[in-house]
Amino acid sequence: MSKLTIAQLDLAKRRVFVRADLNAPLDHGTVTDDTRVRAVVPTIQYALKAGASIVLASHLGRPKGKVAPEFSLRPIGERLDSLLDQHVELAPDCVGAETTERARALSPGQVLLLENLRFHPEEEANDDGFARALAALAECYVNDAFAAAHRAHASIAAITKHLQPAAAGLLMQQELAALGRILESPEKPLVAILGGAKVSDKLTLVEHLLDRVDALLIGGGMAFTFLSALGHAVGRSLVEGEQLETARRTLDAARRRGVALVLPVDAVVADGLESAQGRAVGIREIPAGQMGLDIGPRTVERFTKALSGARTIVWNGPMGVFERPPFAAGTLALARAVAGSPAFTVIGGGDTVAAVTQAGVAERIGYISTAGGAFLEFLEGRTLPGVEALTDAA
């Protein structure tokens, strides 16, 4: 990687500003999924073992630039107490005289967790003055928040103008290595699987992947826009009418480049999301009054066959409304097929991670990204502000 990493820093007796993504779901003040919290623990432990003290910063939720007690990082700090097996002090704010005093009083081996960065509107505005105040809390900077690296926020971008060196944490390194392997030097054949609701959300990604993949499997709601573009009647299934011409161009581009663009041949249909059950029908047999809410068993077989022989697989987006049990079978079956492949497998996006977890195969996936938006933007070939801001490696 061309960016400085935490392993290249001399951390002994230094205060390290660690920007993490601790944006975990809460229920009445209790962390209900600590995946993102656990993900940053190795970086924290590495720095502490090297003799550093840590000023730990994150956002949580969307408090819209105002103090909102329900978005306090206190529950996150309590979870970190347990994961690190040591006390993590919560600062009263992320900036200000008292927070600065507490940060400067840290001894090696101690961790100070700043209160929610987004309690200040200057964070999302990438305000230079706010960034300067954050930078004053530490002596070097480590970004381990890949999931937020697509945001040009003060604690991610502007802070690096005032706090150097700026290095990638262990999680950031892993994310960049796994995704870089897909874009820069994938073992071929490379197969991409895309799902989710809307074509418009992933148009740039589709266009970027067509130059790199050997096959592209499209499921979920977005598949019906492509099927409609081919002339299929898809009942009340989700179709983005304004994207039909774009879908046709994409299909033509795939044909010209020799990329197998694989679409569903059957779907599980029902009257609506609240239906107690669905039934599988061929794509040409979707009733006018019903909608497709999952891929059918023949499509699962088709997609599984398309994965055979793949050496690299990347997947983002469920194949249907998998959070509803009647429409989960397709996504869960595909999760098991991906996990069973000998290929290097990478998945990203909250729904996709939830699907492989629900299918009980998460441990058999090569790499699970903690990111959603950043995962997609990186695969689209965009420059991420949080990566760009890091110090170049010598």
- SS3 sequence, 17-68? EEECCCCCCEECCEECCCHHHHHHHHHHHHHHHCCCEEEEECCCCCCCCCCC
In which element (H, E) is residue 224 found? helix 222-229
Given a cut of 80, is residue 155 above it in pLDDT? yes
pLDDT digits (tens, 9 = 90+) for 340-388: 999 999 999 889 999 999 999 999 999 999 788 898 888 888 899 999 9
Residue 26: φ, ψ to 5°: -120, 150
Residue 258 pLDDT: 95
Catalytic residue among 3, 15, 36, 102: 36
Which member of 38, 198, 302, 382 is catalytic?
198
What pLDDT, on a 0 to 100 scale, did the predictor assign at position 201? 84
Which pLDDT score is estimated for 372?
A: 84
279 in active site: no
What pLDDT does residue 192 have?
A: 95
What are the sequence ranges of the domains in the chain?
Answer: 6-173, 186-379
H or E stretch including 338?
helix 329-340
Q: Is 350 among the residues known to form the active site?
A: yes
Mean residue pLDDT across the chain: 95
Q: How far apart are CA 51 and CA 364, in angstroms?
A: 35
What is the percent of the chain with per-residue pLDDT over 70, rounded to a whole number? Answer: 100
Taking residues 80-108, report their average pLDDT: 97
What CATH number does domain 6-173 carry, 3.40.720.10, 3.40.50.10470, 3.40.50.10800, 3.40.50.1260?
Answer: 3.40.50.1260
Check: CB of residue 50 under 8 Å from CB of residue 12.
yes
Tell me if the domain spanning 186-379 has CATH number 3.40.50.1260.
yes
The gap from C-alpha 136 to its chain's centroid, in whole angstroms, comes to: 30
Q: What is the pLDDT of residue 275?
A: 94
205-251 pLDDT, tens digit each: 898 899 899 999 999 999 999 999 999 999 999 999 999 999 999 99
Q: Which residues pair with 291 in a beta bridge?
A: 270
- Among the listed residues 61, 350, 372, 381, the single catalytic one is 350
Q: To which H or E segment does residue 279 belong?
A: strand 279-282
State yes or no: pLDDT of 1 exceeds 90: no
Same fold, 6-173 and 186-379: yes
- Report pLDDT digits (tens) over 260-317: 999 999 999 999 999 999 999 999 999 999 999 999 999 999 999 999 999 999 999 9
Catalytic residue among 61, 65, 373, 381: 373
